[in-house]
Amino acid sequence: MAGGKTIWITGAGTGIGRACAIALAREGHAVTLSGRRVAPLEETAALARDARADSVVDVMPGDLSDRAEAERIAAAIQARHGRLDCVVGAAGVNVKARMWSELSAGDMDALLDGNLRNQMYTVAAALPLMRARRDGLFIIVSSIAGRTVAALSGPMYTTTKHGLTALAHSINVEECVNGIRACALHPGEVDTPLLAQRPKQLSPAELATVLRPEDVAAVVAFVVGTPAHVCLNEIWVTPTHNRGYVAQLGRGS
């Protein structure tokens, strides 16, 4: 494990977060896995340990939309490893009700908590540990919906993801003088449990064209491996057969 980084992965129970945990453990990094549900985190931990026999994998569940929980986990990582090099913020949710005419207050709160508030509190908890060492990296998994506005994602999901893009850039604006950098990562369609939350499910043929969580994890691993003086401010990663573009071609635009 010599030379590996200490990395906190949120939303590590499924999807992109799980794939990141496996990929980063395989590369020799010590990973701490967070999320609200213990059982999926334990499944991810087992897969990460299978990926590399000497991997250091810790499960620290918690609801990161509660700032005290985020601070508790950050303190536990510091106590365990004496450092925190990187945060991969991969937690994210969506709801089936997408239109303003359908969204309830509960839907809005769920999206604020699950997409934006949890990542903001994680950043706030991690920054003091990184400032103390004058080094640190945040990889904020946003979405193409964090850069474009379309009906498919829904207004609240789109708003929260735009917030994540701003969150990443705000870190670079304020913390660059402390050796801390952030990357806003914008995946397009990815075959994760979030796709099951869509009002209309993709057909098998459509599903075959989208990204896999491992594709996004490979990009995350690349960003983790960049030298400290390099800041990749934003990365878009989409399927080659981009269904948004295909729809435009079909309309002749």
CB contact at 8 A, 183 and 231: yes
Give the C-alpha separation, 146 to 157, whole Å: 9
> For the chain, how are helix, strand and coil distributed in percent, rounded to 5?
50, 15, 35
Closest C-alpha to 86, from 166, 10, 142: 10
Alpha helices in 27-117 (DSSP H): 38-51, 67-81, 105-111
Query: What six digits make up the tokens of 36?
Result: 């609200």
Instruction: Tell me which residues are annotated as active site.
Output: 157
- Sign of the CA dihedral running 9, 10, 12, 16: negative
